[in-house]
Structure 1
């Protein structure tokens, strides 16, 4: 570390595997990278008081290797995961994290990091995100765009977020709000086709508006409905609350109540 007061991290991985977690406090980042054809572009610079880390696995360079190599890569699904990104980030500085993933598998252990903003986008992916430790600062915005596949987010209550926006295309999704909760939070979940399982803490106040087609089922208990909203008994009686808007086209929404 030198003069940085915050970090901006931008990762692009068109295909492969990604692992992200908290690293040593005295290092901005540590990384291990495996690639099949062309090494990733890795750049770190300091602009003002912000450190900027860019990691880009360039598939254009791979395609320029020729048709024979391209067909070889496509001959096995395992070849899609030849690229591998293992990254550890410092817990000592606030982080803005941008992840742009294509055909990937991922394990993101984000607990203990100072996360200010997260932008996550995936194409065809199977990813697990876990906030296994509390975020020591406020996460202003957590935006997820999941294309096709499976995405599981655990201990989201530890993320200390103000606003969570989730857009899913086709897939199975788990969103678990276990953990510590801080004040009033806004949640938007919009899924085209798939299953969404929401794990909600009984101790939090819940207000939920559900907009679904007749091709979608909605499974919830321990709640009452008033006008267009569903409420639990804690709504308006606690400082921790989740104000939720859930939309889906075809599929199933289910709610599971959990103890803190």
Structure 2
């Protein structure tokens, strides 16, 4: 039993305290959304959400449910703060192994996030400076506006991503109730790449497409989601009536499933091909 877990008395000065008997899962999740240095952390009754944004066009959120933690205490309705996620990930990588326990403590505005990492009775104490949380983007991705949704095994999308032409500036995603059903395309120096996946493919578990929808996205905005894809088992792909693209990655964590949601705005609504 970890030395950290034996201290079950909660310091009321802390707004947020959480304990994990292994740092492994949270470390993997945070690395997957670490494509920018700054993240906003939200602790609520449901668990911990860590959100990273880029250029008001991309937003990735890692969700770690309350049930994943062995101990989880919140002394406010919601606790939010900004942090340098690159520093946080580095601390977990340097001082944390697969058998390292982690305790996180946050006292409130102006105070650091304290990490206590314990392995074999040896405790390492890290303090990371925090900033006041700023309002994050609200893409308002509600179920009523979703036009198309598919759920597929992650191996399938990994193969598709591997075949995309990295010299292309844009990636085009087509979803339709009729053939070709699901198509991902790029145009680069090597020529056109079009990958079609039929709705009856063994890789697709759910296919709910109501209308033909084609949108283009910057490949540089979609690419960082590959880090989340790499650790996931399944992925849900949704598009709404504005062309907003949302990947939801399902990631196993022992007896639980954690999620990373990755949203990306379209370059423009189109019909036809890439030619302007």
TM-score, normalization: structure 1?
0.24
**Higher RCO structure (Cα 8 Å, ≥6 apart):** 2
Higher helix share: 2
Higher strand share: 1
